[in-house]
Structure 1
Amino acid sequence: MKRIIVSVTNDLSTDQRVDKVCNTLHENNFNVLLVGRKLSNSFKLDRKYNTKRINLLFNTGFLFYAEYNFRLFFLLLFSKKDILLSNDLDTLLANFLVSKIQRKKLVYDSHELFTEVPELLDKPFVKSVWLKLENWILPKLKNCYTVCQSIADFYNTKYNTNFKVIRNLPNKKTIKKGLIPFSTKNKKIILYQGAVNVGRGLELMIDVMANLENYIFIIIGSGDISEDLKNKTIKEKLNNKVKFLGKLTPQELHKITPLADLGISLEEDLGLNYRYALPNKIFDYIQAEVPILVSNLPEMKRVVLDYNIGKIAEKRTPKKLANQIEKLVIKDFSSELKKAKEILIWKSEEEKLLTIFKNN
């Protein structure tokens, strides 16, 4: 039984992509250890495979990344393993060095265009450091995959690599509806689930709500701009129309998502990372049979058009977007959503994934 050590910089509890990869490997006779970090609010884990969380002195900025990779390096170096799986650029240095020192197979999963995230737009020095690391290591990688074709094409063109595409599709789900902790009687529910960060179109959606009657906009998740959005909601006197549920477990989220009348994914075109984004939430909405409104960006647009399960935002202004939403929610996409949810599932990606780990 081959031993795989999988590493991430998050706390493991909400990373559904990594959990699916680990489960697939575990179910196919790999011995899996998933390594991440422990936070003060980390949820308790109950997984079929082994997990380990590292307690850190630093949890943000350069010192966090430096400490994590330093400690990860020694953990990997002195642990039994046959294969290393690095998730994203922020775990790659430690994995790459150990793979070279001990001649172990290294697999790399790029969840996004790491050096093109909006958070780095106004940090040219930090971005240059990550780019140097990427320029040094990526051309040397033999076994790598990413979440969509646009990102694979970008890396393959820039670094002459051979990135495969393993889409972050969910496991097939049966719909289980839960309860929302406030009244939504006679109101349409618009849902956003995911990271509450810059460039997700959330400020725009709050402005949209001022133009909609009998609608509630629910934001599930946490992030850098959570407090700013709450303050904006108070300032605009939209507390009765915009609700924040914070971070939920995947199990809790699974029961809330089907209650929505519309799911949104309105990322802004803030550089290549968002332009090529194919957010997990799109597929979660589909599994919950919830129609979608997405940005006019290539990957998410392709899913909506290919399966006819929603609409592309025509204009990013509050009044026009509100008007489009009112027309969208009265359309019936139920038949198309049922078809799409049978196709867009993790099982369809597993064979491709296993091929990467089983080759030499």
Structure 2
Amino acid sequence: MKRVIFTVTNDVFTDQRVNKMAQTLKSMGFDPLIVGVKRKDSLPFSPEWADIKRIPLLFHKGFLFYAEFNLKLFFYLLFAKADLMVANDLDTLLPAHLVAKIRRKPLVYDTHEYFTGSPEVAHRPFRRWFWKGLENLLFPRQKTIITVNQSIAQLYEKKFGKKLRVVRNMPRYRLPDQQITRKELDLPEDKHIILLQGSGINVDRGTEELITAMRPEHGIENALLLIIGGGNVLERLKKQVNGENLGERVMFLPKMPYEQLMQYTAKADIGISLDKPDSLNYLFSLPNKLFDYIMAGTPVLVSDLPELRRIVEKYQVGIISKNHDPAQIAHCVKEMLNDPDQLSRWKSNCLEAAKELNWEKEEDVTKGIYASFLKK
């Protein structure tokens, strides 16, 4: 079997896209290995579809994190058995590119976002200079490039004149879990559940405004905002909740296995995705959680971004907030919760849309991209 190595800067556990890619390539006859980061809070993970290698680091944030990881990743890839490498995002591309050249191995670049347009990069001059320089150097040299939606593909095609393949990040088709109850999940049975989930609850994603929208004066009654996952503003959000005395209205849960997460998703009344258009990356984003909500039959409230609007309007699965003012967000939430008949129609539309918006559909595109590497 041909060994394919995926490289990521996360701890692998929560990376739905890479794990689904590995499953698909495993079914094609590849032997997948996913190389990521070993963090203090990394959960045990030994999936059937891939070997896992987590690299321990001394530094866990900032430039030193990327420098240490990329150096260690370079030497690991240099000596590891590999017939094909898949670099996921710009922050793993340099070592994968160098090793692919040295060892004369094929490389696929899978960019999950418009990396240099993310707020963590765009708002910091040195980071912006470094990552843009690296992208300008390496991107034109890649032969096979994949991304997550058409908007990002068009941005890159316009900038570099390279054709990208689009594989959207969708969940596998499944019916919502109707067996488990809210009580078993320690969720209130007498309140509406407003859910925000994700492994990247970061700056400019509208969470601060969403929390403020839960203040009593905004009129959302008999409801709980449930935030599940992790991100770089999580501690700040918890302080905000305490500072605004919203402990009875907002609940946090840590990241959890995907199967467990989807049990909570299916019990929510509304799923939230409120990325702001303040950076190119978020402006053209198509978050995983949107499709998770739809798969679970959970109507959505989203920000007015092109890719989100396209899905919500086409499939009629929720509503779009015209801005990020907490009063406007609260108005949208109340509009949804106060119309149970419409909420039920959106739920039915979600379940119908899920038959089309699933990984099994995207898997055909994935197999078409990777089939040629089995023959080499």
TM-score in terms of structure 2 length:
0.93
Tell me which amino acid in the other structure corresponds to 2:315.
Answer: Y
Contact kept, 8 Å, 1:33 with 1:52, in 2: the verdict is yes
Q: Which residue of 1 aligns with 2:208?
A: 203
Q: Which residue of 1 aligns with 2:358?
A: 345
CA drift at 1:328: 1.7
Q: For 1:230-309, what aligned pairs fall within 5 Å after superposition?
A: 230-309=238-317
- 1:268–1:4 CA distance, 2 compared to 1 (3 A): same
Unaligned stretches of 5+ residues in structure 2: none
Tell me which amino acid in the other structure corresponds to 1:225.
Answer: V
1:21 aligns with 2:21: yes
Helix, strand or coil: the match of 1:170?
A: coil
Q: Which residue of 1 aligns with 2:71?
A: 70
CA drift at 1:340: 0.5
CA RMSD of aligned residues (A): 1.4
**Structure 1 CA distance for aligned equivalents of residues 354 and 209 of structure 2:** 29
Helix, strand or coil: the match of 2:355?
A: helix
- 1:208–1:81 CA distance, 2 compared to 1 (3 A): same
Q: Which residue of 1 aligns with 2:43?
A: 43
- 1:183–1:44 CA distance, 2 compared to 1 (3 A): closer
- 1:317–1:63 CA distance, 2 compared to 1 (3 A): closer
**Cα deviations by residue, 1:236-280 (Å, 9 ceiling, x for unpaired):** 111111111122221220111111000010111121000001000
- 1:6–1:160 CA distance, 2 compared to 1 (3 A): same
1:229 aligns with 2:234: no
**Cα deviations by residue, 1:293-336 (Å, 9 ceiling, x for unpaired):** 11100011111011110111124322232222112232221321
Contact kept, 8 Å, 1:178 with 1:256, in 2: the verdict is no
CA drift at 1:179: 4.0
Helix, strand or coil: the match of 1:359?
A: helix
Contact kept, 8 Å, 2:206 with 2:324, in 1: the verdict is no
Unaligned stretches of 5+ residues in structure 1: none
CA drift at 1:140: 1.1
Contact kept, 8 Å, 1:142 with 1:162, in 2: the verdict is no
Helix, strand or coil: the match of 1:99?
A: helix
CA drift at 1:15: 0.5
CA drift at 1:129: 0.5
Q: Which residue of 2 aligns with 1:168?
A: 169
Q: Which residue of 2 aligns with 1:109?
A: 110
**Structure 2 CA distance for aligned equivalents of residues 202 and 24 of structure 1:** 33
Helix, strand or coil: the match of 2:140?
A: helix
Could you list the structure 1 runs, at least 4 aligned residues long, displaced by more than 3 angstroms after superposition. 177-183
**Structure 1 CA distance for aligned equivalents of residues 323 and 233 of structure 2:** 23
Bigger drift between 79-88 and 17-26 goes to: 79-88
**Structure 1 CA distance for aligned equivalents of residues 96 and 210 of structure 2:** 40
TM-score in terms of structure 1 length:
0.97
Q: Which residue of 1 aligns with 2:348?
A: 335
**Structure 2 CA distance for aligned equivalents of residues 227 and 50 of structure 1:** 32
**Structure 2 CA distance for aligned equivalents of residues 116 and 358 of structure 1:** 32
- 1:185–1:335 CA distance, 2 compared to 1 (3 A): closer
**Cα deviations by residue, 1:121-161 (Å, 9 ceiling, x for unpaired):** 33111111011110001011111100000000111110111
Tell me which amino acid in the other structure corresponds to 2:191.
Answer: K
Helix, strand or coil: the match of 1:145?
A: strand
Q: Which residue of 1 aligns with 2:189?
A: 185
**Structure 2 CA distance for aligned equivalents of residues 178 and 266 of structure 1:** 27
**Structure 2 CA distance for aligned equivalents of residues 162 and 71 of structure 1:** 31
Tell me which amino acid in the other structure corresponds to 1:346.
Answer: W
**Structure 2 CA distance for aligned equivalents of residues 132 and 50 of structure 1:** 33
**Structure 2 CA distance for aligned equivalents of residues 274 and 164 of structure 1:** 20
**Structure 1 CA distance for aligned equivalents of residues 209 and 86 of structure 2:** 38
Q: Which residue of 2 aligns with 1:148?
A: 149
Helix, strand or coil: the match of 2:107?
A: strand
Contact kept, 8 Å, 1:190 with 1:261, in 2: the verdict is yes
Contact kept, 8 Å, 1:6 with 1:34, in 2: the verdict is yes
Contact kept, 8 Å, 2:149 with 2:168, in 1: the verdict is yes
1:31 aligns with 2:31: yes
CA drift at 1:182: 4.6
Contact kept, 8 Å, 2:111 with 2:148, in 1: the verdict is yes
- 1:116–1:306 CA distance, 2 compared to 1 (3 A): same
Contact kept, 8 Å, 2:146 with 2:167, in 1: the verdict is yes
- 1:11–1:183 CA distance, 2 compared to 1 (3 A): closer
**Structure 1 CA distance for aligned equivalents of residues 96 and 53 of structure 2:** 16
- 1:94–1:215 CA distance, 2 compared to 1 (3 A): same
Q: Which residue of 2 aligns with 1:310?
A: 318
CA drift at 1:80: 1.8
Helix, strand or coil: the match of 1:171?
A: coil
**Structure 2 CA distance for aligned equivalents of residues 7 and 179 of structure 1:** 37
